[in-house]
Structure 1
Amino acid sequence: MRHNGYHLFNMGTIRNQYLGLLIILSVFFCSLPLCAEEASEASRPNRLLEIEVHRGDTLSRFAERYLDDPSRWPELLEYNKIPSGDPNLILPGDKLMVPVEMVRDEIADLIYMRNNVRVRRQDAPAWVMAGLYERLFSEDGIRTGSESYAQLSYLTGGGVNIDENSMIFLRPEPARDNVVKLEVGELRARDVKVLTASAAIDPGKDSDYTARVDEEQTTTLSVYKGHVDFISSGELVTVSEGFMARAEFNKPPEKPIRLPDPPEIKPMDDAPVNFGEFNPVAIVGNIEIRGWTESERDPVENVHIQLARDEDFSRMVFDKVVNKDSPDEWKENLSDGTYWWRAAIVTASGVRGKFSEPVIHTVDTHPPDLKIISPQDGAEIRRRIISVTGQTKVGSTLYVNDSLVQVDSEGNFVTAVNVNDGENEVKISATDRHGRKSERILRFQGQPLREEQGDADSLLVGVALALSVLSIGLILLLVMQ
């Protein structure tokens, strides 16, 4: 019995050991999904950058620019749902999310440049010509020449428009990447911190302002949206929207004063610009400068004019400051299309006021198109009256056979025309508001009306029937004889 009891005791102990082992294994395997989830969470990027797609981008080109390897484009699909639904088709303006650690040390992209724009790398002694969409890193510099402009877009948000004859360097701080050092010249910044030789400009959220450094190292700040902290010689002044302030080298900022009001501008006259010419003589004549409280000690001398292909002025055609009294004689030849232009006054000391509201302008150098929808040329018409329909340029004056015809708001027209037997000609002419004229001749054949054709056919049938009856009667008469 003791043996059996001993055996039973051992069996119970072993059973308990197996039970404990099963519990441990169950807990272990059940915890694996949790561990995997935690590992997955740990492997996810802590921070994603929202980067805008530029014209001409593909996913492979995007990966080449930001990931240094075009073959890594499938990795982008892990963080993005392509708006078009086609990975091979990404459109300008689309936003793609990219993990910060994948982008490496890049800070900003050069998304616009005009004329002489140069870049200097941190470890390079010379300035070289920049390339559009070039990637910029810490301590890289951008320099613009005369009548030359550049625009930077920061990966972490915000942007900088660099004016002519300016020089900046990218100087990121531990807590933020979007920081630049303005050595000389002028820039316009959105949510970007700017450092100068003796001042710091720290913007609030959704801010928009210009900073200018002259030859004496005086910093001028003009705020167009939001509010901006202006720090110099240990003193801080907050400059609100619609105000400006100056700080001389190693001196505190002056008391903010109100910015000049935006000028009033009128739509351009038809003659010079609608034929593709845009010149400052015509422009300045349409700009009305309103009161400026500092006019005696800081008079208005120039007008800053911008012309762009879009209402946001991101696709700039030109960006020029001209003398308001004697603008240079230059002309900008414009291709056909829609433009927006605006202006701001510039004082003798370089203070730049607010821009006016954009004015839309359409350049149209071609005569109106004239399309005849119906009837088709050479058609056969079996009606006495038909409708002639077509399309032409909106606003054109249209004549059909010397009769004035209304053109609707979408350029469509319709009119009734009489049809004669034989060949018909309809003369159609359209003249736009600039005197350019297009003409078309519509030709078609007028055929007998369907009713007339039906009467003739009935007569033939009647004659045939009569002849048939007569023939049958003669046959019967012969048979009876």
Structure 2
Amino acid sequence: MAPALAAPVEGPLESVVFGPGDTIRGVAERYLRDADLWPQILELSGIASPADLRPGLALKVPVQQVAAADEALAFSLAAIQKATAEGARIFAPVEIGHAIENRDTAVERRGVGAWAEVVTFAGVATEFADRALEISVAQRDRAAEAVVSDAQGTVEGRAPDQPRWSRRATQDVLVEYERLRTLSASTAQVTFRDLSRLRLNPNSNAVIQRMRSDPLTGGEVTKVNLVNGDFYALLNQLGDRTSFEVAVPGIETATQSADFWIRHDEAGSRFANYDAPALEISRGGERISIGENEGAVLPSGGGAERTRVLAQTELAAPLDGAEIFTPDVTLAWQPAEGAEGYWLEIAADAGFNVMQASQWGVRDTSRQFDGLDPGDHYWRVSSLDRLGLPGVRSLSRHFRIVDDRTPPFVTLATPGEGEIVTVAEVAVTGEAEPGAEVSLNGAPVPVADDGAFSVTLAPAEGENVLRLAAVDRAGNRTERSRAFVYRPVGTVGIALDPALPRDAEGRLLSASPEFAVAGTSTAEAGASLRVVAADGSVAVQTLTDSGGAFHVTLPATEAGAAYRIEILAADRSVAGTLALAARRDATPPGIALDLPPRATANAWLEVTGAAEGAQTVTVNGSPARMDGDRFAATATLVPGTNGIEIVATDAVGNVAVKRVETTYDIDPPEIVAARADRPGGPAGPIEIVVEARDASGLRQAAPFVLSVGGVERRGFLRCDDTAGVCRETLPPEPGALVLVEVTVEDYAGNAARRQP
């Protein structure tokens, strides 16, 4: 049962004075033995940020609470370890799983300072661990000889009294003559009473043929029949097991080896032994002894071939113990001489009892795995030779997938926000999460093991902005910024309001005879300020406002004038100066239109042109698109005559207005009359006359087709828009005249056609 720790958790907080040389992480390490608990100290003390810490502040530290919580955590861990040692992961996986889950929750609640919850969850974890211990002890006393200790994918079994296959899960008990098989991408591990293990790889079928125990000697006899597929065995040499036999069709084995592999299929049988004791094989009266790191192939047609298995494969990446902050991992190893492929295994534990992947025949020397769960993973590789025998397993490596989405801690201690410094070198100090990479204005900053950092920089005169960034190993990023002012002794900075209008030469502009000048300075409020004209006379004298701001009014002429702003120190010496020039600009922008059509058949008109010096342009009250001095806007038209007003305004408020008209005309011209004759007689010239009228005016040329004695003549009439007449005279030519066709267009593009 869990210890009674509720009272200490509810006890008083201990008061600790923050000293001149202290850091908040140091206080947490000293009193709570965990530097990462500093946020809880600040929260309990009512302090918003580490930047607010000052020597002499009294901090409230949960010393009793943390001690009680840590004691409960240690008690629960001991209970879990004791149950696990008695086989709880095999015989009571649900209970031990709940114990671990509750303890993990207790650890998580510790990180946020929920001490009472830590004790509660740790107590629940201890109770589940105690229950798992009871179940495990009772299970070990049962008559069960073996259990399925790991089942990944589809694993099926069939007991002697069962007519068909059924699913097998972890912790299912196996009896004598029970069949067990794995399907594609599936593995199963059988654990015997002495903790010896047998791992069936994908597409394998085996029979647990015999499991016997001799009460007199304590010895045990186990026999497994491999029908097809492959498995490897890891036997417990420290137990009292006296015999472990493996049979494949037509072949018997007996061994004292604790580490071997066997495969059987239609082509024959393959054996590999990795232990010093030999693996003895018998077939048809022939006996073969396979020594350490040796293998043998027995084809189904007879004969045998012995060989040395390939040496241990060397793993490349990731390094052992690596922490990886993405769920996608690429495992890589060195190519092995003589290897035709590789066998890659990944497990959730160092003993490879909980298999996550088993891939046989990998051709490359790397393999990517996507979507791995957070937590610990172990992997190893064996080289496969030309006979299909796996070589000596590589040393296993461990990596951890870390799901870290919490930005790292980082704070700036000096300089203070808005602080005015007068020295040419400024110390930038602060504290960051240990292990995080820190940069200041893009440059890397060295960080001590405890997270403290200190660098010096030469500030620029005026305002300086520090941009601090911390990036942890998971790529999480925290940014902080801090602004301070560098004001050298005896120097005052002056700056004009950037919104003041200026010309291309930088001179201030005003549309009136006077212009207002606004700006800021680094002077204190109430400092003397004067504006000196080019002739040395003082044009204005005033005092700075709060924050060093100032406002003055000066005369402006079209020719322009030069001035100098001076701020005086207490001794009336000039502490800061700024030159400026100003001129009056009373000339409005010049508007030059790209000529619009006299008329259009469209309900809209694109108005374009140039407005030199304009800052904004509107067309019929709507803002135009600007590109330098060029402008463009779309005007919506109504039938008939439309007025278009263009208004251009420059930076100082001068306004220019231009008005134009255009006609929205969708009606074609009206042809009143059309004739072709010889007014001077039959031998005279031919004259074509067309009378027409249109609101938007006639275009200058009108095409015609004239038949003279059956021969067509084509040409253009010249139109007089004022008179409403289109006319053309042709040379004399005999024959009957027929005006076949004439087309008259207006300026909107509408056309009227006259035919006989």
Smaller-chain TM-score bracket: 0.5 to 0.7
Going from structure 1 to structure 2, the CA distance change for 1:120 and 1:333 (only over 3 Å counts) comes to: same
- For the residues of structure 2 that align with 1:415 and 1:274, how far apart are their CA atoms? 25
Deviations 1:265-284 (A, max 9, x none): 31149xxx8643246xx74x
Which residue of the other structure, out of 252, 269, 275, is the alignment partner of 1:219?
269
* Residue 266 of structure 1: aligned partner: 316
- For the residues of structure 2 that align with 1:365 and 1:88, how far apart are their CA atoms? 27
Alpha carbons 1:222, 1:352 under 8 Å: kept: yes
* Residue 183 of structure 1: aligned partner: 227
Going from structure 1 to structure 2, the CA distance change for 1:103 and 1:364 (only over 3 Å counts) comes to: closer
* Residue 406 of structure 1: aligned partner: 446
Which residue of the other structure, out of 148, 152, 159, is the alignment partner of 1:121?
159
> What displacement does 1:173 show?
4.8
Unpaired segments ≥5 residues, structure 2: 1-84, 99-123, 214-219, 236-243, 420-425, 457-463, 485-756
Identity of aligned residues (%): 16
> What displacement does 1:220 show?
1.4
SS at match of 2:393: coil
Going from structure 1 to structure 2, the CA distance change for 1:58 and 1:95 (only over 3 Å counts) comes to: closer
- For the residues of structure 1 that align with 2:134 and 2:439, how far apart are their CA atoms? 46
Which residue of the other structure, out of 223, 233, 236, is the alignment partner of 2:284?
233
Which residue of the other structure, out of 413, 427, 431, is the alignment partner of 1:389?
431
> What displacement does 1:341 show?
2.4
Going from structure 1 to structure 2, the CA distance change for 1:353 and 1:134 (only over 3 Å counts) comes to: same
> What displacement does 1:85 show?
12
- For the residues of structure 2 that align with 1:397 and 1:211, how far apart are their CA atoms? 51
Structure 1 counterpart of 2:263, one-letter code: R
Deviations 1:13-63 (A, max 9, x none): xxxxxxxxxxxxxxxxxxxxxxxxxxxxxxxxxxxxx952217444999xx
- For the residues of structure 2 that align with 1:174 and 1:250, how far apart are their CA atoms? 34
* Residue 666 of structure 2: aligned partner: none
SS at match of 2:390: coil
- For the residues of structure 1 that align with 2:97 and 2:351, how far apart are their CA atoms? 28
Deviations 1:117-160 (A, max 9, x none): 11111111111111221111111111111111111111133111
> What displacement does 1:114 show?
1.4
Q: TM-score, normalised by structure 2?
A: 0.39
Going from structure 1 to structure 2, the CA distance change for 1:115 and 1:202 (only over 3 Å counts) comes to: same
> What displacement does 1:352 show?
1.3
Once the two structures are superposed, the pairs formed by residues 202-213 of structure 1 within 5 Å of their partners are 202-204=254-256, 207-213=258-264
SS at match of 1:89: helix
* Residue 310 of structure 1: aligned partner: 349
Going from structure 1 to structure 2, the CA distance change for 1:310 and 1:427 (only over 3 Å counts) comes to: farther
* Residue 166 of structure 1: aligned partner: 204
Which residue of the other structure, out of 336, 340, 348, is the alignment partner of 1:289?
336
- As a proportion of its length, which structure holds more helix? 1
- For the residues of structure 2 that align with 1:403 and 1:99, how far apart are their CA atoms? 62
Q: What CA RMSD, in Å, does the superposition of the two structures yield over aligned residues?
A: 4.6
Alpha carbons 2:408, 2:471 under 8 Å: kept: no
Alpha carbons 2:334, 2:365 under 8 Å: kept: no
Going from structure 1 to structure 2, the CA distance change for 1:96 and 1:365 (only over 3 Å counts) comes to: closer
Tell whether 2:53 aligns with 1:53.
no
Deviations 1:300-350 (A, max 9, x none): 4321112233333233321112441599x9753223444332211223432
SS at match of 1:103: coil
Going from structure 1 to structure 2, the CA distance change for 1:94 and 1:428 (only over 3 Å counts) comes to: farther
Q: TM-score, normalised by structure 1?
A: 0.59
- For the residues of structure 1 that align with 2:151 and 2:139, how far apart are their CA atoms? 27
Structure 2 counterpart of 1:225, one-letter code: D
- As a proportion of its length, which structure holds more strand? 2
Going from structure 1 to structure 2, the CA distance change for 1:248 and 1:385 (only over 3 Å counts) comes to: closer
Which residue of the other structure, out of 436, 439, 445, is the alignment partner of 2:478?
439
* Residue 174 of structure 2: aligned partner: 136
For the pair shown, which has the larger CA radius of gyration, 1 or 2?
A: 2
- For the residues of structure 1 that align with 2:355 and 2:467, how far apart are their CA atoms? 43
> What displacement does 1:185 show?
0.4
- For the residues of structure 1 that align with 2:369 and 2:126, how far apart are their CA atoms? 44
> What displacement does 1:258 show?
0.8
* Residue 247 of structure 2: aligned partner: 195
Deviations 1:239-287 (A, max 9, x none): 22211123345967x4642111223331149xxx8643246xx74xx43
> What displacement does 1:92 show?
9.1
- For the residues of structure 2 that align with 1:312 and 1:91, how far apart are their CA atoms? 25
> What displacement does 1:355 show?
1.7
- For the residues of structure 1 that align with 2:299 and 2:318, how far apart are their CA atoms? 40
SS at match of 2:145: strand
Unpaired segments ≥5 residues, structure 1: 1-49, 62-83, 293-299, 419-423, 446-481
Aligned length: 346
SS at match of 1:266: strand
